[in-house]
């Protein structure tokens, strides 16, 4: 699903990602852990083509992402990569279903069809009764479920999650962890996530330890990857 080769990213004289290579299989859930400042978020941004490396390549679903022209790269990212962040970045003036429909509208799907598809995705994440609520009317856990639905609505090849439960209490965090597993088992989604939550890391298939810009080690926890 994803192949990264010899990624390097520098900021001034600091090498934040230092010659990182990794492979993610289809249907795999991989967590990246490590101390603050290890380069985890920068690596995720490179893998998701939100930032460009100084050297190295990222191939997703057979496409060398950084060889695409900028407009095609943006279109590829919208269609094939879903993003979930610690801060959900929902549009406050939009309802839950409208927030989820935004990536569909960007890709050219008409308003009605986009809302219908978004509603189905919200039902999938357990929010079928909260379609018309605005973010201010939702709990933190519900807001993050809306963000997850938005990340998945275009049926992306891979989902990048950066501290997806960082702002949630333990009960809501566990519920989001379980939701990721359910979505993978139901739809075959591939997830790459950064987390400081040890419980979340232990629920993934593989844990990559990052330190000082390098992948230091890995632990394989499960091998029942859905193909």
Over its length of 227 residues, how does the chain's per-residue pLDDT go in tens digits?
899 999 999 998 899 999 999 999 998 999 999 998 899 999 999 999 999 999 999 999 899 999 999 889 988 988 889 888 877 789 999 999 999 999 899 888 999 999 999 999 999 888 999 999 999 999 888 998 899 899 888 888 899 998 887 777 787 788 888 888 888 888 888 999 998 878 778 888 999 999 999 999 988 887 655 44
Q: Strands 63-64, 214-220: parallel, antiparallel or unpaired by DSSP?
A: unpaired
Element (H, E) at 142: helix 140-152
Task: Give the model's pLDDT for residue 125.
Answer: 86
CATH dotted code for 2-220:
3.40.50.300
Beta-carbon neighbour count of residue 78 at 10 Å? 16
Task: Give the model's pLDDT for residue 48.
Answer: 92
- Assigned token pair, 186: 């139901």
The answer to whether 210 touches 190, Cβ cutoff 8 Å, is no
Task: Give the model's pLDDT for residue 227.
Answer: 44
Task: Give the model's pLDDT for residue 63.
Answer: 92
- Assigned token pair, 31: 């967590």
Please list the helix, strand and coil fractions of the chain in percent, rounded to the nearest 5, in that order: 40, 25, 35
- Assigned token pair, 179: 């939701």
Element (H, E) at 205: none
């Amino acid at each position: 699903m994803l192949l990264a080769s010899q990624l390097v990213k520098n900021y001034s004289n600091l090498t934040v990602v230092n010659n990182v290579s990794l492979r993610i299989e289809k249907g795999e859930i991989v967590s990246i852990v490590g101390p603050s400042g290890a380069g985890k978020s920068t690596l995720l941004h490179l893998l998701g083509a939100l930032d460009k490396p100084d050297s190295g390549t990222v191939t997703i679903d057979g496409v060398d992402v950084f060889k695409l022209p900028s407009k095609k790269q943006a279109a590829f990212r919208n269609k094939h990569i879903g993003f979930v962040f610690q801060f959900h970045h929902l549009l406050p003036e939009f309802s839950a279903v409208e927030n989820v429909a935004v990536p569909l509208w960007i890709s050219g799907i008409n308003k009605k069809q986009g809302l219908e598809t978004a509603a189905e995705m919200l039902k999938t994440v357990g929010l079928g009764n909260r379609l018309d609520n605005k973010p201010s009317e939702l709990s933190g856990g519900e807001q993050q479920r809306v963000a997850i639905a938005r990340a998945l609505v275009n049926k992306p090849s891979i989902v990048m999650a950066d501290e997806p439960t960082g702002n949630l209490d333990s009960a809501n965090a566990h519920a989001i962890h379980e939701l990721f597993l359910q979505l993978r088992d139901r739809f075959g989604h591939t997830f790459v996530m950064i987390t400081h939550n040890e419980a979340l890391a232990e629920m993934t298939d593989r844990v990559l330890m990052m330190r000082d810009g390098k992948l230091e080690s890995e632990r394989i926890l499960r091998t029942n990857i859905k193909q």
